[in-house]
Amino acid sequence: MQKNEIGLIAPTPALDSLSEDVTFLWLSGQASIPVYDEVPSSLVFLRDHVALSRPCIIRNAVLDKSENKCPLHLTLDDLVDSDPTLSLVVDVTPDGQGDCLRLAQHQTLGCKHKENSQRTFVKPFEHRMSISEFRSCLRATRSGTTPSLEQIKNRIFQSTADVSCTVSEEAFNHGLPTEAVYYYSRQNDCLRSELYSLWQKKLFPENFVWASEAFGVPEPEAVNLWLGNEQAVSSMHKDHYENLFYVLSGEKVFTLCPPADAPFLYEQNCSSGCFQYSATEGWTISSDVHQDGTTLKIPWISADVVEKEKSEVLDEFPLLTYTHPLEVHIRAGDLLYLPALWFHRVTQSCETVGINYWYDMKFDSPSWCYFHFLQSLIPNEAIQG
């Protein structure tokens, strides 16, 4: 313990009490995630969801322009037919697990052993291609069987000093291994920037007025498109945005944890890097470094709540027992309101197209003060190593 740190101990009864209170607040009742068959008023949405930080599902929130006013439905094929040459910056990973912690080992350590590796936050590498090429890659037949979650988590990659997060055209054309997983997941307001030619077709709503009024902001900070299938997984994380996610086709599977679970998810500072691929070395991780050569570190969640029932996982992360994961399936035509600071792990059950609207959260609120304190609480296990 450092000189200016104060040792605070939370007795087990206090943690049990917090867990019970969180369950009562957010997860009690038959419908812990309320479902609306029509858009609620701004007042109802603000009172029952934004003010309480309570997720909900809204149907018939986005309607098409037909006479029957059905929920807007768009598939990847529809988008390709709209503009086959539309250029995308696509994410590619060895197994669908990008923007998550992977085991990395520096080449100087010799043979790959788990005890000689460290958890590293790894971003996918990026490659530009047309949307029609992306569809072909996404649907390409893959040999062998999909690796298990355990196999994915135990896979060790060599870490290199190459700081490029892209793959060369020569290496890409040479052919990636058949298990490579492609998805499109930009978080840079892509629909109103690099995909503006698609945005100006007026296929999607520019804003949700009822939501803007409740959030107290005039328009979304970002509007992003998501394309992929069941092989892509986004690990548990949070966003400092109020999020409205609409599924245009397919199905998204969210595993949610309320903000009060922050101290129990083992967020730690980790080295960061990104995937690379070459025909000679296969998949490697290139380290992110500062100008002085030191490794860049970012905070990321070490534990995976979907495995909290496994004894070996609880042995390593005992405080997971106090988390409150809730699996929610968002089908085509459904809109999920995900409040700011809610933790979420996301995958799909099939090929899926979605669009999400990010609205700035309010930082001048009591809830932010409490959350910021909770997030700074470090489990004793993390301090010890």
Mean pLDDT for 99-109 is: 77
Query: How many whole angstroms separate alpha carbon 123 and alpha carbon 112?
Result: 21
Give the start-to-end residue ranges of the domains of the chain: 12-384
Write down the H helix ranges in 343-385: 366-376, 380-384
**Tokens at residue 177, please?**
């291994």
222 CB contacts (<8 Å, ≥6 apart)? 187, 188, 189, 192, 241, 357, 358
One-character DSSP codes across 17-38: HHHHHHIIIII-SS-SS-EESS
| 12-384 topology per CATH | Jelly Rolls (2.60.120)
For residue 166, the 8-state DSSP code is B
Among all chains, which residue has been given the structure tokens 């988390």?
Answer: 323
> Where residue 384 falls among pLDDT bands split at 50, 70, 90?
very low
> Where residue 145 falls among pLDDT bands split at 50, 70, 90?
low
Query: How many whole angstroms separate alpha carbon 105 and alpha carbon 137?
Result: 29
> Where residue 383 falls among pLDDT bands split at 50, 70, 90?
very low
**Tokens at residue 222, please?**
């970002």
Among all chains, which residue has been given the structure tokens 């679970």?
Answer: 261
Return the pLDDT at 107.
Answer: 55
Closest Cα partner for 220 from 254, 195, 192, 257? 192
CA distances from 60 to 36, 220, 242 (A): 9, 20, 20
Q: Which residue has the higher pLDDT, 2 or 147?
A: 147
**53, 339 Cβ separation under 8 angstroms:** yes
**268, 299 Cβ separation under 8 angstroms:** yes
Whether this model's pTM surpasses 0.85: yes
pLDDT in tens, 70-93: 999 999 999 999 999 999 999 999
For residue 279, the 8-state DSSP code is T
pLDDT in tens, 297-356: 999 999 999 999 999 999 999 999 999 999 999 999 999 999 999 999 999 999 999 999
**52, 366 Cβ separation under 8 angstroms:** no
One-character DSSP codes across 183-245: EEE--S-GGGTTTHHHHTTT-S-S--HHHHHHHT-SS-SEEEEEEE-TT-EEEEE--SEEEEE
Give Cα 89 to chain centroid, integer Å.
Answer: 18
Q: How many CB atoms lie within 10 A of CB 14?
A: 10
Return the pLDDT at 113.
Answer: 52
Query: How many whole angstroms separate alpha carbon 162 and alpha carbon 285?
Result: 9
Query: How many whole angstroms separate alpha carbon 11 and alpha carbon 364?
Result: 31
Closest Cα partner for 246 from 342, 346, 353, 348? 353
